[in-house]
Amino acid sequence: MEKIEILKQCIYCKCAKPEEEFTLEHIIPQFLGGAQAPDELKTRSVCKACNNNLGLFVDAAFEKDFMVFNALNEAAYSFFNPEKPSSFPLRSLGVSDLDPPQIQDNEVCESWLGPLGEQIYWIRPADEKMYWYSGGNPRTVKEVKTRAYFLWAERSQKNPIITYLSFKDAFVGRKVRKISCTQVDGIDIKDIGFSEPDRLDIERIGYFLKECGNGQERKNRISMYLHYDIRFMAKLAIGLNYVLFGKKIIDSNYSKELYKALWFREGDAKPAIKGQSNLSQQDSFLKEKCGIANGATITIHPVHNDIIVNLNLNRKMNWFIKSTQLDIVKDFITDDLKNGLCIVLFKTLNKGIKISFPDLIAHNHGNILHPELAAIQKQSDLHNDYFKNL
């Protein structure tokens, strides 16, 4: 008997492909805590190729922006509990002006900061196309062997476990040879992935100790790409449109503009999408009202005749985009969506909370506190002084 193959359409590239070429797509990406979003906001209508490529070139382009990257890491610091020490993500400081021995022309020396003031210098391939990615081209750094040099801080000695755990987790999933420039007593650093220095390392250790000792000023270059967020917001709007309003919406006139934005290349005609990026929002109203501290908040909200998707990070950064016209989707407007639906995600805590937009506003005004959000807020920033006093 002949096998009949049923093809399915991918919501991003619109290609028809067999079922086995599809995979789970979180719509709200995992770096924002999307795994904790309600299941109805996830889909299996995205092909593996889009999941991989858009993950790398659209999601990562957003995640690795210098400001976003450091904002996402802040939550780990706020929720720190000294009773249960945990590892901290390193903070990106951009590409340094250092010139360590035998660095190649196609390499950069990127500077990172640990939780207690540790300095980390990572010599990795430069990437012209992804010049603004903190941590370089994610695909290259997974494959190419690189070296990173770690300088422990004086404060590391007082509570070595924090440095220990953070250094252990640093550069996981990348082929980084980790070298310690500092002698550490009482810890076998081979246990956390450090290697014995070879001749090149010994030369470089001498260099970093001389150049990066206490009190020396360093210059770092931070690169920013102003349009890093357009493709990302368009992708979020397309994905949410699909899971909330179904397949039909993909072919609306406005959706065509969203697709132009999703697949935008430098030099293309500007897509006619409505929205605002974080940098263009001078007014702090949306930044403060539409989010929760230390969380990523996604709001889907009817405004006049549009549906607006708003993304807020930590009540400090805010983006919004028109996802569709209200009259096209009016039959799909559930009670949840009527007044605005917010998903508040705390990736560090593995928590996702669904709340209505009016309740979020009331909570942020202090009128009616949302019990779960209030409990999380109580947990955060409890130990801010811990680091100061260490």
Tokens standing for residue 116: 């207690």
Shortest gap between Cβ of 23 and Zn ion (angstroms)?
10
Minimal CA–CA distance to 362: which of 373, 352, 375?
Answer: 373
Contact with Zn ion (CB under 5 A): which of 9, 13, 220, 377? 13
- Closest approach of Zn ion to the CB of residue 122, in Å: 33
Q: How far is the CB of 270 from Zn ion (least distance, A)?
A: 24
CB of 8 to Zn ion, least distance (A): 10
Neighbours of 333 (CB within 10 A): 14
Lookup result for tokens 């210059």: 219
Asked if 10 is part of the footprint of Zn ion (rule: CB under 5 A), the reply reads: yes
The secondary structure element, H or E, covering residue 266 is none
Among residues 13 and 113, whose Cβ is nearest to Zn ion?
13
Strand-pair partners of 354? 343
In terms of Cβ atoms closer than 10 Å to its own Cβ (0-12, 13-18, 19+), residue 305 is: exposed
CA 162, CA 103: separation in Å to the nearest integer? Answer: 30
Listed ranges 41-49, 98-106, 167-175, 321-329: which one lies at the site for Zn ion (CB under 5 A): 41-49
The amino acid occupying position 112 is: W
The stretch near Zn ion (CB under 5 A) out of 39-47, 96-104, 210-218, 363-371 is 39-47
Binding region for Zn ion (CB under 5 A) out of 4-12, 159-167, 302-310, 363-371: 4-12
Question: Can you read off the two tokens belonging to residue 221?
Answer: 């270059």
Cα separation, 271 vs 274, in Å, equals 9
Contact range with Zn ion by CB under 5 A, out of 47-55, 235-243, 320-328, 378-386? 47-55
Stretch that binds Zn ion, among 6-14, 164-172, 220-228, 296-304 (CB under 5 A): 6-14
Binder of Zn ion out of 27, 28, 37, 50 (CB under 5 A): 50
Q: How far is the CB of 12 from Zn ion (least distance, A)?
A: 5
Interface pick for Zn ion out of 32, 41, 47, 236 (rule CB under 5 A): 47
Residue 11 engages Zn ion in binding (rule: CB under 5 A): no
Q: Is 56 an interacting residue with respect to Zn ion (CB under 5 A)? A: no
Residues 6+ positions from 290 with CB-CB distance below 8 Å: 297, 299, 310, 312, 318, 360
Stretch that binds Zn ion, among 8-16, 119-127, 293-301, 360-368 (CB under 5 A): 8-16
Q: How far is the CB of 127 from Zn ion (least distance, A)?
A: 24
Q: Residue 47 or residue 329: which is nearer to Zn ion going by CB?
A: 47
DSSP E strands, 61-106: 91-96
Between residues 204 and 235, which has the closer beta carbon with respect to Zn ion?
Answer: 235
d(C-alpha 64, C-alpha 181), whole Å:
27
Helices (H), 225-331: 230-245, 253-262, 285-289, 326-329
Nearer to Zn ion, 47 or 250 (CB): 47
Residue 179 near residue 201, CB atoms below 8 Å: yes
Element (H, E) at 309: strand 306-313
**Contacting residues toward Zn ion, per CB under 5 A:** 10, 12-13, 47, 50
